[in-house]
A and B are shown apart, each in its own frame.
Chain A
């Protein structure tokens, strides 16, 4: 009788800790900020166990029956806890926290009842000194076992949902065993019936856990991943978190709808506002149509040619209702001509000259894109820029990739262009850099003809000065035959991203 009950202590202690860990892990996984989640979950749980211990004094007799009932309740409640919380989170966001702490509280109270009940059962067989010593030893041993097993084996291999079902089944097993031990004093048939029902429920959950999680995750991301597509050029992923729409290309953030206006206003207006007759505009890259949206604000612009490599991008941003709302349906404007072509090949063949050219390419993170930042490319760009025209080049961050930024400046200068480098703060990117290239000296606008959210004439002046941590460095020109920028850029971002 005694060793059997001590093993029971070991098992119920394991289960008790397991539910606590599952709840903590689930909360950090879904809500983030694991320190807060674990602290509050553990706190609530321990407090609830205290309530359980206190309540145990109101249980008079029939200790074995009560213990079996508590075990069954803990098993069912704890077993289904992870699955219920997952599904709840996926479908209704609001009451999730309430449900989480309620669940933790309930399980905690029940678990708090377990040890006092076992001790009272054992008291009839053991003296008090040994009782406390042995029960608590096995209690802590069980905790140790699970605290190791959970992060190393169970969570990675079984997953949270399956693990909790498994511990639920363990509690039911403890109940069954207790019924066997005390079969003389218990209503065996009725209790076995209840155990079978609980085991059936938990077993089904364990088997179906895979489908359950998929179901939960699918509906969870239904709100978040709005769109994905793999094209020959890239993987496009669009996510939404509340009202923040984010575009990722190959996993790299391209914009957040919260602050993209800061990026695009800074890209377009300091140059375009200075052109008295910007009739013909060329946008290279920028298939999201957001730069286009800004350019279309100028009635003087007659014609905008947008050259973007990926037809899937321009199609998405001219058809998806969320995105056409974001870019003001710019890609469908009668003034815009969208061409899907390789910018290099297209520029070689195009004979046009433009008042304003926007080079909004991805950062120079590989040798293919790197060609778009070489002296040869800027000479090609120069051939398409009118004598009094302006070009603007997105030039990565002068803060995080300082040498890269100034290498682009030096390369434009080597190609015979005058440069006016500037920077703007885009919270989701950090401090971002741009360069205006021209044949004649450029001066920032004294006023903007249209209302802007992130720029004023006065603030624009400040963008053209660089504080010491972003100041110009001595750098070399980026050529096709060395592509040193790709290496520099990789080194610099490697420093930033750990």
Chain B
């Protein structure tokens, strides 16, 4: 008799004595998330004073997508004398991942759309990793089929039925369908729009987008209100656009700026010779597959558990006081240049003489709290006799979550064995601060029961299958492109180039997606390379 059987027996005994049924059968799991302890020690300033000194050409703070991309760009240019300092015990940032006996699974970003032609750095990276085959500047390159999301890709659970695709067709009226069509037509027309210089209306990286006043004006209205103004009021359409905003930005369509909302639908026009436009690349561990390879390029220059707790820019360079948690000691690094690729909100607190306008701009940033859960299952949930088959992305209509993706979907195997489902939820329907508080204060059991209840609607057999529910909390998961932020004063201030301290984070783009983070990291790295007069080929053009 193992522990589980023992608990079941005890549960059965408890039932007989009048306890609630199934008390012993609930799966196990734990609550995970960004290392709060180090963060709090950083905030409270109780870290040892530096005991040694080191000089470096370049220090990169943060080993998320932008920091690792900056390091990759430096390494490619032949620069050796740099370090990437990461507070967490592992690199990856929003692309962290876990692994158990069943599969590797994501804790954050889990896919990358096949890149548009403007996403030059991303294409070059994919070619380096063998994902993009051939010339990365080819308008329609070939992608390794193993990394393209396998069929079937996505389905939606609505009115008790799984339908193919995410646009809610089940139960939609003729009027709804007409609006879906008009919406798609509208997005198509913006997708093809170019300005006088030939720039796309909505490009990714977003910095390469057109600046036509009527386009920038879209930032002044919410995506929801923009749709209403277009005469689009269909409830299923609004569910779909709201879902899309929550999925990519962690905030509702009522808060998302129309510019950002449209960007989501218009920027992904990457083509491939062997995949449809809009196809995505994905891996069991999500985008950690990419950041682990970027981290390999950075190699031993990556230092984890390294807390930067003081920054000071002076005439000879930038001083960084760094606490190394593993060794419980601090050192002072003086670098010619620092690329700040960590979240910006900590910077004003630790930078000596941080510019007031910068501090003010940073205070305008708001971040969405997120919850991710990985459910380990003995076997996949039973397939419904009708409706769309089990897919990679499984979304539930009208629920607070974003549904789940199947970590084992990309496994090359025929038999269906144990699996891991990755469940996502942006706490978007409340103010970020209160959502963050709720996220951190709610105990594991409450979240786990909530998730089980939600997913048991389409999968009644789920309670018998789930063995573990591990939950990851991210209080500051992604910057929110709220109305007025993208083309507002605050972001403009963040974009002003520094002399030795270079900001590089998706925060600078106003929304957190892989291509933006990578662009910001590579952009900062190339600025530093130019300042240091290192010859290099650009990864951006």
A: residues with CB less than 8 A from B are: 232-233, 309, 342-345, 348, 366-372, 374-376, 380, 477, 479-483, 486
- Complex contacts, B145 vs chain A, CB 8 Å: 374-376, 479-481
Find the B residue at minimum CB distance from A414.
B274
B414, A376: Cβ atoms under 8 Å?
no
The answer to whether A481 touches B412 (Cβ under 8 A) is no
Shortest distance in angstroms between A319's beta carbon and chain B's nearest beta carbon? 23
Which residues of B are found within 8 Å of A343, using beta-carbon distances? 414
Task: Give A252 Cβ to nearest chain B Cβ, in Å.
Answer: 16
Number of A-B contacts (CB under 8 A): 63
CB neighbours of A482 from chain B (8 A) = 151, 275-276
Give B207 Cβ to nearest chain A Cβ, in Å: 30
Question: Which residue of chain B lies nearest to A379 when distances are taken between CB atoms in the complex?
Answer: B145
Q: Are B412 and A371 in contact (CB under 8 A)?
A: yes
Give the CA-CA distance A334 to B414 in the complex, in Å: 28
Q: Which of A369, A371, A479 contacts B274 (CB 8 A)?
A: A479
Q: Which of B264-313 contact A (CB under 8 A)?
A: 274-276, 279
| B412 and A309 within 8 A (CB) | no
Interface pairs (11), CB distance under 8 Å:
A344-B412, A345-B412, A348-B412, A371-B414, A374-B145, A375-B145, A376-B412, A480-B146, A481-B145, A481-B279, A483-B151
Tell whether, in the assembled complex, residue A483 and residue B414 are in contact, meaning their CB atoms are under 8 Å apart.
Answer: no
A342–B276 contact, CB under 8 A?
A: no
B435 within 8 A of A: no
Q: Is the CB of B415 within 8 A of A376?
A: no
Could you tell me if B150 and A371 are in contact, using CB atoms closer than 8 angstroms?
yes
CB pair A368–B146 under 8 Å, yes or no, is: no
- Nearest-neighbour CB distance to chain B for A47, whole angstroms, equals 50
**Beta-carbon contact of B150 and A483 below 8 Å:** yes
Could you tell me if A480 and B148 are in contact, using CB atoms closer than 8 angstroms? yes
Asked if B389 is at the interface of the complex by the 8 Å CB criterion, the answer is yes
| Residues 126 to 154 of chain B near chain A (Cβ within 8 Å) | 145-146, 148-153
- Name the distance in Å between B218's Cβ and chain A's nearest Cβ: 33
A483 touches B148 (CB 8 A): no
A354 to chain B, nearest CB (A): 19
* Residues of chain A lying within 8 A (CB to CB) of residue B414: 309, 342-344, 368-369, 371-372
| Interface flag for B413 (CB, 8 Å) | yes
Which 10 A/B pairs are nearest by Cβ-Cβ distance? A483-B151, A481-B148, A376-B145, A480-B150, A344-B412, A342-B413, A480-B145, A342-B415, A344-B413, A345-B413
Residues of chain A lying within 8 A (CB to CB) of residue B386: none
Is the Cβ of A481 less than 8 Å from the Cβ of B389?
A: no
Contact partner of A479 (CB less than 8 A), chosen from B148, B153, B390, is B148
CB-nearest residue of chain B relative to A375? B145
Tell whether B416 is near chain A: CB-to-CB under 8 Å.
yes
CB distance from B240 to the nearest CB of A (A): 23
Chain A contacts for B275, CB-based, 8 A: 479, 481-482
Contact B416 A368 (CB under 8 A): yes
Contact with A along B152-179 (1 / 0, CB 8 A): 1100000000000000000000000000
Residue with the greatest number of chain A CB neighbours at <10 A, chosen from B276, B390, B414: B414
Select one of A233, A348, A367, A380 contacting B152, CB under 8 A: A367
* Residues of B contacting A344 in the complex (Cβ-Cβ under 8 angstroms): 412-414
> In the complex, which residue of chain A has the Cβ closest to the Cβ of B153?
A481
Beyond the given pairs A367-B389, A380-B412, A480-B150, 20 more chain A to chain B contacts, judged by CB atoms under 8 angstroms and listed by A's residue number, are: A233-B415, A342-B413, A343-B414, A344-B413, A345-B412, A366-B389, A367-B150, A367-B390, A368-B414, A368-B416, A370-B151, A371-B150, A374-B145, A375-B145, A479-B275, A481-B150, A481-B151, A481-B153, A482-B276, A483-B152
B151: contacting residue among A345, A369, A372, A480, CB under 8 A: A480
Q: Which of B145, B152, B279, B389 has the most CB of A within 10 A?
A: B145
A478 to chain B: closest residue by CB: B151
Contacts of B279 in A (CB 8 A): 481
Least Cβ distance of B380 to chain A in Å?
A: 10
Query: How far does the alpha carbon of A346 sit from the alpha carbon of B389 in the complex, in Å?
Result: 26
Q: For residue A124, give the distance in angstroms from its CB to the closest CB of chain B.
A: 66
**A348, B415: Cα distance in complex, Å:** 15
| Bound-state Cα–Cα, A482 to B412, Å | 15
B149 CB to closest chain A CB (Å) equals 6
Provide the bound-state CA to CA distance between A390 and B415, in Å.
27
Minimum Cβ distance to chain B for residue A340 (Å): 11
Quote the shortest CB–CB distance from A480 to chain B (angstroms): 4
Q: Within 8 Å CB of A366, what residues of B?
A: 389
Q: How distant is the Cα of A232 from the Cα of B413 in the complex, in angstroms?
A: 15
Q: Please state if B413 and A481 are interface contacts (CB–CB under 8 Å).
A: no
Q: Closest CB of chain A to B141's CB: distance in Å?
A: 14
**Taking CB as reference atom, which chain B residue is nearest A348?**
B412
Bound Cα distance A479, B272 (Å): 13
Inside 8 A of B390's CB, which chain A residues have their CB? 367
Tell me, in angstroms, the Cα distance from A233 to B153 when the chains sit together.
23
Chain A positions within 8 Å of B146 at CB level: 376, 480
Q: Distance (Å) between the CB of B133 and the closest chain A CB?
A: 12
Considering the chains assembled together, what is the distance between the CA atoms of A369 and B412 in angstroms? 11
Do the beta carbons of B152 and A309 come within 8 Å of each other?
A: no
Contacts of A367 in B (CB 8 A): 150-152, 389-390
**Chain B residues positioned under 8 Å from A376 (CB to CB):** 145-146, 412
- Cα–Cα, bound, A376→B143 (Å): 11
Measured CA separation A482–B152 after assembly (Å): 7
| B388 nearest CB across to chain A (Å) | 11
CA distance A371 to B279 in the complex (A): 18
Residues of B within 8 A of A342 (CB): 413-415
Interchain CA distance A421-B226 in the complex, whole Å: 57
Cα A486 to Cα B414 with chains together (Å) = 14
State in angstroms the CA–CA spacing of A342 and B275 once bound together. 27
B150 contact set on A, CB distance < 8 A: 367, 371, 480-481, 483
* Least CB distance, B93 to chain A, in whole angstroms: 27
Residue on A nearest B275 in the bound complex, by CB = A481
> What distance in Å separates the Cβ of A349 from its nearest Cβ neighbour in chain B?
11
Considering the complex, give the chain A residue whose CB is closest to the CB of B145. A376
* Bound complex: CA A345 to CA B414 (Å): 8
Would you give the 0/1 interface string for B47-90, flagging 1 where the beta carbon is closer than 8 Å to chain A?
Answer: 00000000000000000000000000000000000000000000
Residue on B nearest A487 in the bound complex, by CB? B151
| B151-A309 in contact (CB<8A) | no
Which chain B residues lie closer than 8 Å to A232 at the CB level? 415
Tell me which of A345, A367, A370, A380 has the highest count of chain B C-beta atoms within 10 A of its own C-beta: A367
| Interchain CA distance A343-B414 in the complex, whole Å | 8
Measured CA separation A390–B275 after assembly (Å): 30
- Nearest Cβ in chain B — how far from A414, in angstroms? 9
Measured between beta carbons, the chain B residues less than 8 angstroms from A371 are: 150, 412-414
Contact residues in B for A348 (Cβ distance below 8 Å) = 412
B-side contacts of A380, CB under 8 Å: 412
Question: Which residues of chain A have C-beta atoms less than 8 A from B153's C-beta?
Answer: 481
Chain B's closest residue to A369 (CB) is B414
* A486 to B, closest residue via Cβ: B151
Whole-angstrom distance between the alpha carbons of A482 and B150 in the complex?
7
In the bound assembly, the distance between CA atoms of A369 and B275 in angstroms comes to: 21
CB atoms of B149 and A481 under 8 A apart? yes
**Min CB distance, B224 to chain A, in Å?**
33
A477 to B145, CA, bound (A): 12
CB distance from B274 to the nearest CB of A (A): 6
A272 to chain B minimum Cβ distance, whole angstroms, is: 25
Q: Identify the interface centre among B153, B279, B415: most chain A CB within 10 Å of its CB.
A: B415
- B261 nearest CB across to chain A (Å): 27
Smallest Cβ distance from B385 to chain A, in angstroms?
14
